Amino acid sequence: MDLNAKIYVAGHRGLVGSAILRALEEKGYRNLVLRTSSELDLRDREQVQQLFAEEGIDYVFLAAAKVGGIVANNDYPADFIRDNLMIQANVIDAAHRYEVKKLLFLGSTCIYPKLAPQPLKEEYLLTGELEPTNIAYAVAKIAGITMCQSYNRQFGTRFISAMPTNMYGPNDNFDPVTSHVLPALVRKFHEAKASGAAEVKIWGTGTPRREFLHSDDLAEACIFLMKFYEGNDIVNVGVGEDITIKELAGLIQSIVGYEGSLVFDSSVPDGTPRKLVDVSKIHALGWQAKIKLEDGLHAVYESFRESTLVNN
């Protein structure tokens, strides 16, 4: 992937896509193809085919997806499976038809069975039942993986798939309903501190364990895999460590400086009990995450606080 290669970052305004874009620009890549959702609807096959026909794209980072937290996934399953299936099918097929050199598809660790052994190894895919609250999203991602593998086998394409763990970082979604747990907690504690609230209610029991990877680390991993990994097997991307939601809440509470109490709402589903990925494969390839969770959280909160001040 030389510096003059034409690279399409699908979803370049999202949490992951924006991190990949920053990393590429920092490394000197300038021949980048970017389209906002208002300029290009990836769910529209004709629009996607036209993009690839006009641009002569060499490499694709497929980071575009409809994403959300446990509530959004549970409440809008049709939206999640429909939009993600259409986005993936259109981009992957166009990449084949217009002879893209290589494509990286970003999946998710929600593809693994709910009660799979921990840590999650790549070979656990399709060995058990999925978590019901996000099954639509997981099935869509599994379809994307299978599509990449199938095109490789039938057409000899070079389509690889990476499975990142729970993400956080700049350009995250802090919406109180549709966000994932980490940005949701950042917002809750910030608003509770600002309003002087006596307590913060947290969904679930606080006992599930989660692993958190900074988006800048994921971006580095994606570029690394694009350059150095060839194969039909999926690759986990994570840090290899996890914490409970209760511990995460306490860490964010301390960073924000909120002094009230925490109340856990056990009437809300916890989701998967634990989701820690086995990262031995990507470590053996030569890549490891660098950003510590506490350092990343400090940066995320400062960014959120500054954007809140600007918007207000």
> Which residues carry out catalysis?
137
Binding residues for substrate: 188, 203, 210, 270
Domain membership of residue 159 (yes or no) is yes
Query: Is the pTM above the cut of 0.75?
Result: yes
Q: Is the pLDDT of residue 176 over 80?
A: no
Mean pLDDT of 200-206: 93
Domain membership of residue 142 (yes or no) is yes
Element counts in the chain: helices (H) and strands (E)? 10, 13
Binding residues for NADP(+): 11-17, 106-109, 141, 180
Domain membership of residue 2 (yes or no) is no
Highest mean pLDDT among 217-226, 262-271, 300-309: 217-226
Question: Cα–Cα distances in Å, from 170 out to 115, 161, 248, 263, 306?
Answer: 31, 23, 18, 28, 12
Binding residues: 11-17, 106-109, 141, 180, 188, 203, 210, 270
Domain membership of residue 189 (yes or no) is no
Domain harbouring 286, CATH code: 3.40.50.720
For the segment 129-152, what is each residue's pLDDT rounded down to a tens digit? 998 988 999 999 999 999 999 999
Domain membership of residue 40 (yes or no) is yes
What are phi and psi for residue 98, nearest 5 degrees? -105, 20
Residue 272: pLDDT band with limits 50, 70, 90: confident
Domain membership of residue 199 (yes or no) is no
Cis peptide upstream of residue 208 (ω within 30 degrees of 0) = no
The answer to whether the CB of 279 falls within 8 A of the CB of 238 is yes
**Number of independent structural domains in the chain:** 1
Domain membership of residue 267 (yes or no) is no
Domain membership of residue 21 (yes or no) is yes
pLDDT of residue 311: 61
For the segment 97-122, what is each residue's pLDDT rounded down to a tens digit? 999 999 999 999 999 999 999 999 99
The answer to whether the CB of 148 falls within 8 A of the CB of 100 is no
* Residues of the domain holding 87: 7-172+211-240+276-291
